[in-house]
Amino acid sequence: MKNLVIVGAGTGGTTLAHRLRKTLNERLWAITVVDQDDRHVYQPGLLLLPFGEYREEDLVRPRASLLPGGVDFRTCAVESIDAPGRVVNLVGAQRLPYDVLVIATGCRTVPEATDGLAAEGWRTTATDFYSVEGSVALGRMLDGFKGGRLVINIASMPIKCPVAPLEFAFLADAYFTRRKMRDAVEIVYATPLDAAFTKPVAAKMLVDLLTRKSIVLETDFVVASVDGQSQTISSYDDRSLEYDLLVSVPLHYGAEPIVASGLGDDMGFVPTDKHTLQSSAYEEIFVLGDATNVPTSKAGSVAHFQSEVVHDNIVRYVEGREPRPDFDGHANCFIETGYGKAILLDFNYETEPLPGRFPLPGLGPFTLLEESYANHWGKLAAKWLYWNVLLDGTPIPLDHRMPKAGKWGLQ
Say yes or no: 187 and 230 in one domain.
Answer: yes
Q: Say whether pLDDT at 411 is over 60.
A: no
CATH number of domain containing 59: 3.50.50.60
Domain that holds residue 381: 331-390
- Structurally, the chain folds into a number of domains equal to 3
Q: Are residues 160 and 38 in the same domain?
A: no
Shared domain for 173 and 247, answered yes or no, is yes
- Per residue in 320-357, pLDDT tens? 999 999 999 999 999 999 999 999 999 999 998 989 99
Q: Tell me, yes or no, if the pTM score tops 0.85.
A: yes
Quick check: 263 and 76 in contact, CB under 8 A? no
Q: Is 215 part of a structural domain of the chain?
A: yes
Domain assignment present for 266: yes
Pairing relationship of beta strands 252-254 and 107-109 according to DSSP bridges: antiparallel
Among residues 1, 315, 335, which one has the least CA distance to residue 161? Answer: 335
Task: Looking at the structure, tell me whether residues 182 and 125 fall in a common domain.
Answer: yes
pLDDT of residue 169: 98
Order across the sheet with 215-218: list the strands.
126-127, 245-249, 148-154, 185-190, 215-218
Whether 176 and 58 share a structural domain = no
Do 115 and 232 reside in the same domain of the chain?
yes
Chain mean pLDDT for the chain: 95
Whether residues 116 and 246 fall in one domain: yes
340 and 386 together in one domain? yes
pLDDT digits (tens, 9 = 90+) for 57-71: 999 999 999 999 999
Does residue 405 fall inside a structural domain?
A: no
Residue 405 corresponds to which amino acid?
Answer: A
pLDDT of 90 reads: 97
